[in-house]
Structure 1
Amino acid sequence: MKILVIIPCYNESENIAKVVRRLRETCPAADYVVVNDCSTDKSVQVLKAEGCNYLDLPVNLGIGGGVQCGYRYAVEHGYDVTVQMDGDGQHDPAYLQAVIAPVLAGHLDMCIGSRFITKEGFQTSFMRRVGIRFLSSLLHVLTGCKVLDVTSGYRACGKALTARFAQCYAQDYPEPEAILRAVCEGYKVGEVPVVMAERQGGKSSINALKSVYYMVKVSLSLVIYRLCFTKKDKRRNEA
């Protein structure tokens, strides 16, 4: 089984070398590709100096577009399982096998590494936890699927879902929307416990004001997508 770890990177010069080194040491059998999304810091120089396998995007596509490039890369190179892992050092590659195991076994099409099952390690800020709980409840209402850590970027996908995401993937803040799309299209989604760390360096792109914008935008997007999918499914059944 060929496994590819997709690492999106935007201004992660302080973290990306350590992330890649730790992944290489912990999971030498897994391949990886760093997707540099037009970083304005020294990320590219670091990637070159480390001899990393990376894609250097010609224009900034945002997190969704960057991850989708990784999925396209996986399809073109025939990978069986893809794993998303953030470039800021929060995701521990020691849990990679636990995240991919349900996908390899055929139990899930997408398995999410969740910090909220055992509640160990870094739990993020109080306000973000409130927002995540709200989005988790909203997704449960819309799909019937219960996922606690809906914004976790630590997730594995099987070959079929990888191919689907290579064709179509949410752009701005894609983690909750990707879950909704997968469940609505009949893919099996679940989660396993992982322990995450706090960002190892640099600065998050999501501040307090953006968190409010994120909540409103993603909530509306989830509801609209679910309504559109329901109408499309109804037309298909009538035909």
Structure 2
Amino acid sequence: MGTALGQTLIVMPAYNESQSVGRVVSETRAILPDITVLVVDDGSTDGTADAARAAGALVATLPFNLGVGGAMRVGFRYAAQHGYRAVVQIDADGQHDPATVTGLLDRLEDYDIVIGARFAGEGAYVMSGPRRWASKVLAWTISRTAGTKLTDTTSGFRASGPRAIELFEREYPAEYLGDTIESLVLACRAGLTATQVPTAMRDRSGGAPSHSPLRAAVYLARATLALLFAYARPKAVAPRTIEATA
């Protein structure tokens, strides 16, 4: 049996997601009624915070936009300070299915980080062009560091156990793609274990995706830089082994 829902914190970074965040929070709380949802309003200029509170989430409001990495560090610090034993990152746009959270938590019995992988046999999510090339290179490189095959190292849908929480609340990267690429490299180089479970991506609940050929090419260049920075960074101190409380 995996980590209890009452010991799990859903962290939902949100930047100008007023159209979708309320529905995502409501759905998450309906499917997982014992879980706590923390929306980190990352300097939004719309009604994101109000929509999240109205749906029953806790809300941490940042004074300006820090990016997903900065928002997630806030979430990990909150989790560490309040004794949560698992953190699950869910996007505020509705693309991650809350019904699959328990599958990630079950695997935390044996691993420190569990990734919801889009390219592992579930769903019909397709990535093409420079993004596809970058994803393959990143997956191959980071798999060697992790010591296991990972197919989707840029997935933002992931669960972190106690040792990962301890590491991330003090050293979670806040740079571009730090929340995916660099955080995973950081954890694996510090001795944490990672695995993945197949998950299907859904359409956005609101707003519009920001994909274009130019953005894809920029993504490829920035992903390459993020990977280089991840390996250039000094190894983090390995977190201590945390025993479960009764």
Query: TM-score of the superposition, structure 2-length normalised?
Result: 0.85
* Structure 2 residue aligned with 1:153: 156
Which aligned segments of 4 or more residues in structure 1 are displaced greater than 6 angstroms?
none
Shift of 1:141: 4.6
Cα deviation digits, residues 149-169 of structure 1 (max 9, x gap): 111111001111112111011
User: What CA RMSD, in Å, does the superposition of the two structures yield over aligned residues?
Assistant: 2.1
- Aligned to 1:67, the other structure's residue is in SS state helix
* Structure 2 residue aligned with 1:217: 222
CA distance in 1, matches of 2:195, 2:144: 16
- In the alignment, structure 1 segments of 5+ residues that lack a partner are 234-239
Distance of aligned partners of 1:118 and 1:228 in 2 relative to their CA distance in 1, 3 Å threshold = same
CA distance in 2, matches of 1:155, 1:126: 22
- Aligned to 2:150, the other structure's residue is in SS state coil
Shift of 1:28: 0.7
CA contact (8 A) 1:115 1:196 kept: yes
* Structure 2 residue aligned with 1:164: 167
Deviates more, 1:22-31 or 1:135-144: 135-144
Cα deviation digits, residues 134-188 of structure 1 (max 9, x gap): 2212323555442111111110011111121110112221201111111111000
- Aligned to 2:60, the other structure's residue is in SS state strand
Distance of aligned partners of 1:97 and 1:142 in 2 relative to their CA distance in 1, 3 Å threshold = closer
Shift of 1:224: 3.8
CA distance in 2, matches of 1:58, 1:206: 27
Paired AA for residue 187 in structure 1: L
Deviates more, 1:220-229 or 1:163-172: 220-229
CA distance in 2, matches of 1:37, 1:14: 15
Q: Please point out which of 71, 78, 84 is paired with 1:73.
A: 78
CA contact (8 A) 2:134 2:224 kept: no
CA distance in 2, matches of 1:28, 1:15: 19
Paired AA for residue 188 in structure 1: T
CA contact (8 A) 1:142 1:223 kept: no
Cα deviation digits, residues 93-141 of structure 1 (max 9, x gap): 11000011111x2x100000112111424x1442333331222123235
- Aligned to 2:111, the other structure's residue is in SS state coil
Shift of 1:208: 3.8
Query: TM-score of the superposition, structure 1-length normalised?
Result: 0.87
Shift of 1:213: 2.5
* Structure 2 residue aligned with 1:52: 57
Say if 2:12 is the partner of 1:7.
yes
* Structure 2 residue aligned with 1:189: 194
Q: Please point out which of 98, 103, 127 is paired with 1:98.
A: 103
CA contact (8 A) 2:14 2:40 kept: yes
* Structure 1 residue aligned with 2:244: none
Paired AA for residue 155 in structure 1: R
Say if 2:133 is the partner of 1:139.
no
Shift of 1:22: 0.7
- In the alignment, structure 2 segments of 5+ residues that lack a partner are 238-246
* Structure 2 residue aligned with 1:17: 22
CA contact (8 A) 2:15 2:43 kept: yes
Q: Please point out which of 88, 113, 117 is paired with 2:116.
A: 113
Q: Please point out which of 20, 31, 39 is paired with 2:36.
A: 31
Equivalent pairs counted in the alignment come to: 229
Distance of aligned partners of 1:51 and 1:95 in 2 relative to their CA distance in 1, 3 Å threshold = closer
Say if 2:231 is the partner of 1:226.
yes
* Structure 1 residue aligned with 2:240: none
